[in-house]
Amino acid sequence: MATDSLTRIERHASFGGWQEVWQHTSETLHCDMKFAVYLPPQAAHQSVPVLYWLSGLTCSEQNLITKAGFQRYAAELGLMVVAIDTSPRGEHIADDDAWDLGQGAGFYLNATQQPWASHYAMYDYLTKEIPALISAHFPSNGRQSIAGHSMGGHGALMVALNNPGRFESVSAFAPIVAPSQVPWGQKAFTAYLGSDTTQWQQWDSLRLVEQGHSLPVTLIDQGLADPFYPQQLTTELLETRCKEKALPVTFRYQPDYDHSYYFVSTFIEEHLRFHAKALMT
């Protein structure tokens, strides 16, 4: 099925709704991109709210839809769930041999340094192009929330902080909360944005909170057996700042859970119910 520039490339019946994957030529990223949409059964006869999902390093739109088991809960709650890719893709797109830079590692920012700046504008893609496509072609009622895992947790928090009032709620699993202070973020930010660290602040959730940006109701889960915690995932730094600013953020530390989708799938129901409560109030 094709709709203007959109082509549906997957469609699977799931809990009375449809799990779809769409492809389009992105005007923002200058390449072909894929995104996943779960349409709950309610979407067949009415508009529904949207939860955007951002995945982590090395991931694509496929990780959430094949590993998290969220569809059962989205169907019950009447949530459309949109999962985007983590970077521009293609043979002509700049890349790096390392897994934590380049394709699969866009960090949801707008790159300013070459060779990345020609295509790596994931922030504009996420905040402008994708919402416009969803609004134009899918039964959204205009209410939206955002969630993510790891690098995607960074993206969800950072995008919400930079767009006050847009989202009813935010949630994150094992987010990179202070990318300017940890190796993953420092490597990516230096490559994409250059060595002037003042240019990093608009993409760093901790810095944005320190500068007075606000969040809607937010839920953050961190596994205590996560191999990247606390060296890359400095969760307590953000918790301290959010408490100082009296932001409505709940932090939970889960014993025994690691960084994988076993962790995500365990708590995804709670996250979807959290978002549904905010979206349907």
Going from N- to C-terminal start, the domains of the chain cover 7-279
Check pLDDT > 60 for residue 3.
no
* Separation between Cα atoms, residue 79 and residue 71, nearest integer Å: 9
Region 85-111: what's the mean pLDDT?
Answer: 98
3-class SS shares of the chain: helix, strand, coil, % to 5: 35, 25, 35
At 234 the pLDDT is 98
* Separation between Cα atoms, residue 85 and residue 151, nearest integer Å: 12
Contacts of 244 (CB under 8 A, 6+ apart): none
Q: Mind listing the pLDDT tens digit for each residue in 175-225?
A: 999 999 999 999 999 999 999 999 999 999 999 999 999 999 999 999 999
Degrees, nearest 5: CA angle 71-132-219: 45
At 4 the pLDDT is 56
At 1 the pLDDT is 53
What is the band of 5 on the pLDDT scale with cuts at 50, 70, 90? Answer: confident
* Spatial CA neighbour of 161 closest among 146, 181, 183: 146
* Separation between Cα atoms, residue 156 and residue 140, nearest integer Å: 19
Residue 7, SS3? Answer: strand
Q: Mind listing the pLDDT tens digit for each residue in 25-84?
A: 999 999 999 999 999 999 999 999 999 999 999 999 999 999 999 999 999 999 999 999
Contacts of 260 (CB under 8 A, 6+ apart): none
* Separation between Cα atoms, residue 233 and residue 181, nearest integer Å: 10
Report the catalytic residues: 150, 226, 259
| Integer CA distances (angstroms), 11 to 8, 38, 54, 176, 265, in order | 7, 9, 20, 32, 22
* Spatial CA neighbour of 89 closest among 36, 129, 34: 34
Tokens of 100: 């934590």
Check pLDDT > 60 for residue 2.
no
Q: Mind listing the pLDDT tens digit for each residue in 146-163?
A: 999 999 999 999 999 999
CATH 3.40.50.300, applies to 7-279 = no
At 68 the pLDDT is 98
* Spatial CA neighbour of 206 closest among 231, 253, 240, 165: 240
* Separation between Cα atoms, residue 85 and residue 26, nearest integer Å: 12
* Separation between Cα atoms, residue 53 and residue 61, nearest integer Å: 9
Check pLDDT > 70 for residue 111.
yes
